[in-house]
Amino acid sequence: LREHRERESMATIVLHQVPNPLEYGVVVTDDEGDVKRFLEKPSWGEVFSDHANTGIYVVEPEVLEHIRPDEPADWSQDVFPSMLTRREPLRGMVTTDYWCDIGSIQSYLQANWDALEGRVRCHIPGRKEGQAWIGEGVEFGLDVQIEGPAFIGDEVKLKAGAWLNDRVIVDKFAIVDNYSKVSNSVVWPHAYIGESCRLRQTIVCRNVTLKNNTFVEENSVIGDECVVGHGARIRSGVKIWPNKEIEPGSTVNESVIWAGEWRRGLFSSYGMGGLINVELTPEFCARLGAAFGATLPKGARIAVGRDHSRSARMIKRAIVSGLVSAGGKVRDVHELPVPVIQFATRDTRCDAGIQVVVSPLDQRSADIRFFDADGLQIDKRAERRLENLLFREDFRRAAFYEMGDIEYHDPIRAYSEHLLNSVNRDAIRDAGLRLLVDYDYSEASAVLPGILMELGLTTVPLNAGLREGPHHHAVPEETALISRTVEADVGCMLHPSGERLFVIDETGTVMTPQEAFGVLVSWWLKVHPGIVLAPAATPEWIAELVRQAGGTFSATAADPAAVLRSSATQGTCLAADSEGGFIWPYYLAAFDAMYTLVKLLELRATSGMTLSEAREALPKSVYLTATEFCPWEAKGRVMRVLLDSHREHAVDLVDGIKVFVDSGFVLVRPDPDEPAYHIVASVADEEHGRELVSSYSRLVREAQAGNGAHPGVEVRTAGEPR
């Protein structure tokens, strides 16, 4: 300003010396600093100066009179050239202060690095520790590494093993989860970087969610509100415009601007899931509740429950507010296992039910389950309708006099009576069995002890009560050891949701889900022959066991909801998934670990056999599995190639492609929730099984690349004996 006034200029242009003037507007001045010429992005043949126009101007008010209000105008192409034509004083001032044109990704990043490295006179908030500026309330996990200059904003969370490498900016409220590495990158506020991600020289904008194992390469930009699915790879130079969703396992080679990509629905095999307070925010859950309420008639009754976690409580309350706003009448059943919620929905004649549980596999995520009036998980059609209403926000709002209400209901007594009336109490009581139960701090510890007391059982409880935190994914070694030490006739661990049961025999051996299924089939079908349902991947020896016992084996898809709905088929006496979940349709169409345990005790009491004797009597076979990564966009091609390769053979298409071979089968099925294919071989000979798994894994890989190939193994043709 001082120089502008001293030289009595009408306009002063701030100039800066640059090494490569081709990217800028160049200004040519004489020795006195008077502007003589403008060149916008010149070629080398036109470069007569290395003074770039910084876009910083000081102008007198009179200059603005030359800009017509109803026409577009450019300073360097219109206004200043017209001033030169009129010979008005126009001067340039070369500054040696810091200047950077951030019109490109690289220069934007460079400006941030320059600030971190002290080349810019600016105030960086936070306390200085080594080369890092750290804001208020920052949370550091174990073994966090910070190498090189970094800025870490207020309330940032760096989880265990997070690594900030070289020059990094992580702005306020962002989260870098376990073992992720961020190098030479800028992360904007409220972004979430999942576990084991790799970011290299990239910009992650506001409210972006990167799921686990995402890899983002250099010079990429991910716009506001984007969600990048786990295992996705963003290639170098890709720009993703705001509000896009990238599928898990995708490889993005070009920028995503208008359309995004094919977007899968919100639902997975276990209901609707998402990251707590990242995807499942209170605002979203309130809208979700309103949308679900709008799928039901006004005044509909909805049973709503949750687990004991604070996260589930927050989500449930938000959903309830949405349900009430749509005119729904909420029946709050508090903290209960999933099958009890399903029972309460059916028993109290509600129109629907909802259960919120923190995922036992990932404490950062929660699952929301929706049930119909029969207590069954809603079907695909209802899921799509709910998604459409939610995305369009085209759902009704009740008038103030139509608002729903909330009442509280405790279904434990009714559930317990129904369970006890469905088993042979005298047989269980007279057997005098000793039982060990590991509750794994689940809601079942509020329901099952009263039932076991009514049966007069001697019970050793472990991990009873409620506690937040990670749950076991398998039976701990110490649980099996204690079960043997206390001489329990039956030991078990309950899944946190109350849906799955893991069984331990009297020798302390943990039975596989297939072994437990086999024992139940062999005992139950002796007194109640009928249809047995299980996923197509169920070992062949179980299907043969069902047939030998006079029953009928029927294969279903592996999706738990599909197993549940199929179990309603007339004549079905038992259904199971492959993970320890069992359904007794005559009792309740739900995976119910508590009823399964009591029924197991009844069958153990009446069979005259111990669990280990029943387990040893089961047929022996080989069961091998493998998983092959497959991008979503290649899944259809893989299925087509597999079908083309087996046109002359008998195949079962219930869940993927099941090909029958000598003494068993090989199954190739797409994962409904992940970018993957699963290969399963159930045969008598281990070498043959390994050959099948290897051959079909290779076929899946080749089909992704567009190369059709035969698996190279002998398969049974239609009509040949099994």
**Mean per-residue pLDDT for 543-566?**
90
pLDDT of residue 275: 87
pTM recorded for the entire structure: 0.75
**105-139, pLDDT tens digit by residue?**
888 999 999 999 998 888 999 999 999 999 999 99
- CATH superfamily, domain at 415-616: Alpha-D-Glucose-1,6-Bisphosphate, subunit A, domain 3 (3.40.120.10)
**Mean per-residue pLDDT for 240-268?**
74
Least confident of 18-32, 155-169, 632-646: 18-32
Of 524, 33, 597, the residue nearest 339 (C-alpha) = 597
**585-621, pLDDT tens digit by residue?**
999 999 999 999 999 999 999 998 999 999 999 998 8
Which of residues 311 and 259 earns the better pLDDT score?
311
Which of residues 466 and 60 earns the better pLDDT score?
60
Rounded Cα–Cα distance for residues 502 and 582 (Å): 11
- CATH superfamily, domain at 2-94: Spore Coat Polysaccharide Biosynthesis Protein SpsA; Chain A (3.90.550.10)
Both tokens assigned to 255: 């920028």
Residue 211 to residues 174, 272, 497, Cα–Cα distance (Å)? 14, 16, 24
Concatenating the DSSP letter of every residue in 626-678 gives: EEEE--HHHHHHHHHHHHHHTTTS-EE-SSSEEEEETTEEEEEEE-SSSSEEE
What are the boundaries of each domain within the chain?
A: 2-94, 105-252, 267-409, 415-616, 622-704
267-409 and 415-616 share one fold: yes
Rounded Cα–Cα distance for residues 518 and 532 (Å): 11
Residue 572 to residues 208, 533, 663, Cα–Cα distance (Å)? 47, 7, 26
**Residue 380: partners with Cβ closer than 8 Å, 6 or more residues away:** none
pLDDT of residue 465: 81
**393-430, pLDDT tens digit by residue?**
777 888 888 899 999 999 999 999 999 999 999 999 99
Q: Is pLDDT of 193 > 70?
A: yes
User: Considering the domain 105-252, what is its CATH architecture?
Assistant: 3 Solenoid (2.160)
What is the Rg, in whole angstroms, of the alpha carbon atoms belonging to the chain? 33
Q: Is pLDDT of 11 > 80?
A: yes
Cα 187 to its chain centre, rounded Å, is: 21
**Residue 586: partners with Cβ closer than 8 Å, 6 or more residues away:** 422, 573
Residue 431 to residues 9, 115, 457, 523, 601, Cα–Cα distance (Å)? 106, 77, 9, 16, 9
8 Å CB contact between 10 and 60: yes
Q: What are phi and psi of 455, to 5 degrees?
A: -85, -5
Using pLDDT thresholds of 50, 70 and 90, give the confidence band for residue 194. very high
pLDDT of residue 6: 77
User: Considering the domain 622-704, what is its CATH architecture?
Assistant: 2-Layer Sandwich (3.30)
Tokens 């009263």: give the residue.
Answer: 450
**Residue 545: partners with Cβ closer than 8 Å, 6 or more residues away:** 518, 521, 522, 618, 619
b/e 21-45 (16+ beta carbons within 10 angstroms → b): beebbbbebeeebebeebbeebeee
**CATH number for region 267-409:** 3.40.120.10
**452-511, pLDDT tens digit by residue?**
999 999 999 999 888 776 666 667 788 999 999 999 999 999 998 999 999 999 999 999
Both tokens assigned to 640: 């087509």
**160-190, pLDDT tens digit by residue?**
999 999 999 999 999 999 999 999 999 999 9
Both tokens assigned to 484: 């043997």
Cα 144 to its chain centre, rounded Å, is: 24
Rounded Cα–Cα distance for residues 652 and 458 (Å): 47
Rounded Cα–Cα distance for residues 189 and 157 (Å): 12
- Other Cβ atoms closer than 10 A to 387: 15
